[in-house]
Amino acid sequence: MTNKLYKHDVYLKTCESTILEIIDKNSGTDNSSCLILVLDKTIFFPTGGGQPCDLGTINGISVIDVFEENDIVYHVLEDDDMHMGSCSPSPAQMFQKGQTVKLSLDWDRRFNNMQKHCGEHILSGIFYSELNGVNRGFHMGDSYMTLDIDIKDITWEQAMKIETLANKVIWSNTPVITRYFEKRKDAENLPLRKPLSLEENISIVCVGDINNPADCVACCGTHPSTAGQVGIIKILKLEKYKGMTRVYIKAGQGALLDYQNKNDIITALNNKYSSSDDDLIDKIKIQDEKNKVIRQELHEIKTLLITNYVSDIKNDYANENYYKSSNAIILTKKYDNLKINDLLNIGKQAAPYIKGLLLLICTKENTLILFSDGSHDCNKLVKENAPIYNGKGGGNKNNARAIFNKYEYIDTFIDLLCKHLR
Ligand SMILES: [Zn+2]
What is the whole-number distance in angstroms between the Cα of residue 205 and the centre of ligand 1?
Answer: 6
Please give the model's pTM, rounded to 2 decimal places. 0.78
What is the whole-number distance in angstroms between the Cα of residue 273 and the centre of ligand 1?
Answer: 44
Of 5, 77, 95, 74, the residue nearest 41 (C-alpha)? 5
Of 126, 130, 144, the residue nearest 235 (C-alpha)? 144
What is the whole-number distance in angstroms between the Cα of residue 352 and the centre of ligand 1?
Answer: 75
How far are the Cα atoms of 247, 252, 254, 272, 365 from residue 263, in angstroms, in the given order?
A: 22, 17, 14, 14, 40
Q: What is the per-residue pLDDT for 33? A: 74
What is the whole-number distance in angstroms between the Cα of residue 305 and the centre of ligand 1?
Answer: 67
Q: Which of 107-121, 186-200, 238-252, 366-380 has the lowest mean pLDDT?
A: 186-200
What is the whole-number distance in angstroms between the Cα of residue 51 and the centre of ligand 1?
Answer: 8
Residue 218: left if φ>0, alpha if ψ -120 to 50, beta else—which one? Answer: beta
Question: In this prediction, what percent of the chain has a pLDDT beyond 90?
Answer: 86
Q: What is the per-residue pLDDT for 242? A: 95
Would you say residue 3 has pLDDT above 90? yes
What is the whole-number distance in angstroms between the Cα of residue 140 and the centre of ligand 1?
Answer: 11
pLDDT digits (tens, 9 = 90+) for 233-273: 999 999 999 999 999 999 999 999 999 999 999 999 999 99
Question: In this prediction, what percent of the chain has a pLDDT beyond 70?
Answer: 96
Would you say residue 90 has pLDDT above 80? no
What is the whole-number distance in angstroms between the Cα of residue 69 and the centre of ligand 1?
Answer: 19
What is the whole-number distance in angstroms between the Cα of residue 118 and the centre of ligand 1?
Answer: 6
Q: What are phi and psi of 368, to 5 degrees?
A: -115, 130
What is the whole-number distance in angstroms between the Cα of residue 211 and the centre of ligand 1?
Answer: 19
336-346: average pLDDT: 94
What is the whole-number distance in angstroms between the Cα of residue 99 and the centre of ligand 1?
Answer: 33
What is the whole-number distance in angstroms between the Cα of residue 251 and the centre of ligand 1?
Answer: 14
Q: Which domains does the chain have, with CATH numbers?
A: 3-105 (2.40.30.130), 110-261 (3.30.980.10), 298-420 (3.10.310.40)
What is the whole-number distance in angstroms between the Cα of residue 77 and the centre of ligand 1?
Answer: 26
What is the whole-number distance in angstroms between the Cα of residue 72 and the centre of ligand 1?
Answer: 20
What is the whole-number distance in angstroms between the Cα of residue 191 and the centre of ligand 1?
Answer: 16
What is the whole-number distance in angstroms between the Cα of residue 417 and the centre of ligand 1?
Answer: 75
What is the whole-number distance in angstroms between the Cα of residue 219 and the centre of ligand 1?
Answer: 5
What is the whole-number distance in angstroms between the Cα of residue 91 and the centre of ligand 1?
Answer: 34
Distance CA 396, CA 378 (A): 6
78 pLDDT tier (thresholds 50, 70, 90): confident
pLDDT digits (tens, 9 = 90+) for 171-209: 999 999 999 999 999 999 899 999 998 898 899 999 999
pLDDT digits (tens, 9 = 90+) for 266-322: 999 999 999 999 999 999 999 999 999 999 999 999 999 999 999 999 999 999 999
Q: Which comes out higher in pLDDT, residue 223 or 420?
A: 223
Distance CA 72, CA 2 (A): 5
What is the whole-number distance in angstroms between the Cα of residue 121 and the centre of ligand 1?
Answer: 6
- Residues near ligand 1 ion, CB 5 Å cutoff: 117, 205, 219, 221
What is the whole-number distance in angstroms between the Cα of residue 126 and the centre of ligand 1?
Answer: 15
Distance CA 391, CA 135 (A): 59
Q: What is the per-residue pLDDT for 82? A: 53
Residue 397 carries which side chain, given as an amino acid letter? K
